[in-house]
Amino acid sequence: MQAAELDFARFGALSVVEAQARIHDARARLGKRAVLLCHHYQRADVYRHADLTGDSLRLARLAAQTDAEFIVFCGVHFMAEVADILSRPEQTAILPDLAAGCSMADMANLAKVERCWRELAAVLGTSPDEKITPVTYINSAADLKAFCGEHGGIVCTSTNAPKIVDWALARREKVLFFPDQHLGRWTGFKKGIALEHMAVWDPDLENGGLSPEEIGKARILLWKGHCSVHQMFQVEHIRRWRAQYPDGLVISHPECNLDVCRESDYVGSTEYIRDTITDAPTNTRWLVGTELNLVNRLAELMKPQGKTVQFMAPMVCMCSTMQRIDTQHLAWTLENLAAGQVVNPIRVPPDEAEPARAALARMLEIS
């Protein structure tokens, strides 16, 4: 007989100290049956409990290699979906708070992408499968990964996007890149594609707001999506900082706008940012354009080496949806598991999981 679920109302009023104690107790009871994953952007009071840390794809792949029965993903919804797709059938991916989504991922949904595909067919006069490779950033829903799998497309990360775009353009003459226009634009720019050959597709307008001529000219069609966190960083922030610290170094995530990336000394993923600053000479000074929790964590870790790590924006700027995974939700999730009840399991339907897995497999083979 299945145990009764513990009501979250009993946990929501817990102090952080009380929730921490209950997390420790539940984890002791669970032992190796559960593995706790924390993305780099996760809040510090949750991050401290992680068994594995990293970016979303790395965590999902590592979790699948463990013997854990339960994969508790302290991240956002699409990350837990990837963990479910890549994990073994006997493993269960769990998201402590189902409200932990991703605003950028939500900017592209299957209905809008399918309509885009139909409109492109009408403009091109042929099936887009013959001329366009769909590429979805890993920060997207499982059904969009499945769409790519079904149409000969692929998934990319912020690290491997250049290789993926090379592969895509070698197969077909155009790329439809979603949901983040900025990663797509920076990738195309680094590959030497002229800005006039990268057109923004607005899913709320007929034919993306583009003329047939603009669609025909484009090598990359960039979905009108963005990360609200990384749009807070501006060129002016960098220039003011450089005026004060001319010997300082600037590093940014490619979800930032093109001008910020061009003004930076280094551009790369969360793992790249962490590794570049970690491996840098002592007593260097860094301005970092990515989520606040990661920057604060790096700042503390680098202090013994005399490195100064500063957040790029003058205002507080963190991933608000990932902040929903708090100690109270984590305690609730783990205590339910310890009591024999699975809450918030993330299960991608088989008809989506199979083509999504194919798109991910293509990516892993290439990169």
Tens digit of each residue's pLDDT (9 = 90 or more) over 257-274: 999 999 999 999 999 999
> For the chain, what percentages of helix, strand and coil (3-state, to nearest 5) are there?
50, 15, 35
Q: pLDDT by residue (tens digit) across 350-365?
A: 999 999 999 999 999 9
Band of pLDDT at residue 1, cut at 50, 70 and 90: very low
Query: Is the pTM of the predicted complex or chain greater than 0.75?
Result: yes
Does residue 250 carry a pLDDT above 50? yes
Q: pLDDT by residue (tens digit) across 103-140?
A: 889 999 999 999 999 999 999 999 999 999 999 999 99
Best CA proximity match to 325, nearest among 26, 4, 37, 10:
37
Q: Which domains does the chain have, with CATH numbers?
A: 9-101+322-347 (3.40.50.10800), 105-227 (3.40.50.10800), 230-311 (3.40.50.10800)
DSSP one-letter string for 162-177 = HHHHHHHHHHSSEEEE
Band of pLDDT at residue 323, cut at 50, 70 and 90: confident
Average of pLDDT values for 337-346? 96
Mean pLDDT taken over the chain: 94
- Looking at residue 324, its amino acid is R
The CA distance from 246 to 26, in Å, is: 50
Does residue 184 carry a pLDDT above 70? yes
| Packing angle of the helix pair 56-64, 77-86 (nearest 10 deg) | 30
Report residue 203 as tokens. Answer: 């899913």
| Packing angle of the helix pair 181-190, 161-171 (nearest 10 deg) | 80
Q: What is the pLDDT of residue 193?
A: 97
Q: What is the pLDDT of residue 324?
A: 85
Cβ atoms of 93 and 69 within 8 Å: the answer is no
Average of pLDDT values for 201-209? 98
Average of pLDDT values for 32-57? 91
